[in-house]
Chains A and B, each alone.
Chain A
Amino acid sequence: MAIAQARPHIRPRLNSRKLAESALFYAGVLLFLLVVLLPIWYIFLTAFAAGDQLFTKPLNYFPQTFGFLDRLQIVFSNLPIAQYLLNTVFLALASTLIALFLSFLAAYSIARLQFPGANLVLTILLASTMLPGVATVIPLFQMWQTLKLMNTLQGLLILYVSPLLPITVWVLVSFVKQVPVEIEDAAKVDGAGFWSMIWHVVLPTIKPGLAVMFIVNFIAGWNEFFTPLIFARGPASKTITMALSEAQTIGSSTQFYQNWGNMSAVAIIVTVPVFIITLLFQRQIIEGITAGAIK
Chain B
Amino acid sequence: MTTRRLMLAYALVAPVVLWRLATSIYPFIYTAYLSFHDNSPVRRTFDFIGIQNYIQAFNDTNTPISLEFTAFFTIASVSLQVVFALAVALLLNRSFPLRGVVRAVNLLPWAMSAIVIGTAARWMFNVDYGLINDIIWRLTGERPLWLVDVTSARFAVVFVDVWKNAAFLSVIFLSGLQGIPQEVYEAARIDGAGRLQSFWHITLPLLLPLILSMAIFGAIFRVLTFEIVYALTEGGPGTTTALFSYLAYLQAFRVLNFGYAAAISMILFFIVLVVGLVGFGFLRRAWARYY
Cβ B268 vs Cβ A134 within 8 A: yes
Q: Which of A39, A42, A132, A294 contacts B272 (CB 8 A)?
A: A132
Q: Is the CB of B102 within 8 A of A293?
A: no
A contact face: mostly helix, strand, loop, or mixed: helix
User: 1/0 contact trace for B1-42 toward A, CB 8 Å?
Assistant: 100011011101101110110011111101100100000000
Partner of B20, one of A105, A128, A279, A286: A128
Q: Which of A83-122 contact B (CB under 8 A)?
A: 102-103, 105-106, 108-110, 113-115, 118, 121
By beta carbon, the residue of chain B nearest A60 is B134
Partner of A271, one of B1, B112, B128, B265: B112
B102 nearest CB across to chain A (Å): 6
Q: Provide the A194-237 mask, 1 if CB < 8 A to any CB of B, else 0.
A: 10000000000000000000000001001101100010000000
Decide: A106 and B269 in contact? CB cutoff 8 A. no
In the assembled complex, the Cα of A56 lies from the Cα of B134 at a distance in Å of 10
9-residue interface stretch from B51-59, B145-153, B181-189, B247-255: B247-255
Closest to B98 in A: A29
Check if A187 is an interface residue, CB within 8 A of chain B.
no
| Contact A294 to B9, CB < 8 A, known contacts A132-B272, A165-B20, A271-B112 | no
Q: Are B9 and A135 in contact (CB under 8 A)?
A: no
CB distance from A187 to the nearest CB of B (A): 16
> Is residue B286 contacting chain A, with contact meaning CB distance below 8 A?
no
List which B57-108 residues lie within 8 A (CB) of chain A: 87-88, 91, 94, 96, 100, 102-108
Interface size range on A against B: 35 or more
**Interface contact B30-A241, CB-CB below 8 Å:** no
Q: Is the pair A134, B245 in contact by a Cβ cutoff of 8 Å? A: yes
Whether a CB of chain B sits under 8 angstroms from the CB of A65 is: no
Contact A105 B107 (CB under 8 A): no
Q: When the two chains form the complex, which single residue of B23, B88, B265 contacts A162, counting CB atoms closer than 8 Å?
A: B23
**B227 engages A226 (CB within 8 Å):** yes
Assembled-state Cα–Cα distance A204/B137 (Å):
57
Cβ contacts A151-183/B at 8 Å (1 or 0 each): 000000011011101100100000000000000
A65 to chain B, nearest CB (A): 16
Which one, A39, A121, A282, contacts B17 given CB within 8 A? Answer: A121
- A32/B13 in contact, CB under 8 A: no
Contact A109 B128 (CB under 8 A): no
Contact B103 A135 (CB under 8 A): no
Q: Is the CB of A219 within 8 A of B227?
A: no
A108, closest chain B residue (CB) = B12
Q: Looking at the assembled complex, report how far the CB atom of A219 sits from the nearest CB atom of chain B, in whole angstroms.
A: 6
Known: A57-B128, A132-B224, A132-B265. A110 touches B13 (CB 8 A): yes
The contact sample of 22 A-B pairs, CB cut-off 8 A, is: A21-B195, A105-B13, A106-B15, A109-B8, A121-B13, A125-B20, A134-B226, A134-B261, A136-B27, A140-B27, A158-B19, A162-B24, A219-B111, A223-B112, A223-B113, A226-B226, A244-B116, A263-B123, A267-B119, A271-B113, A278-B111, A286-B171
With A42-B131, A277-B111, A278-B110 given, name 18 new contacts (CB 8 A). A25-B91, A42-B120, A55-B129, A59-B131, A113-B8, A114-B1, A115-B10, A118-B13, A166-B20, A223-B113, A223-B114, A225-B113, A241-B113, A267-B119, A271-B116, A282-B104, A294-B176, A294-B210
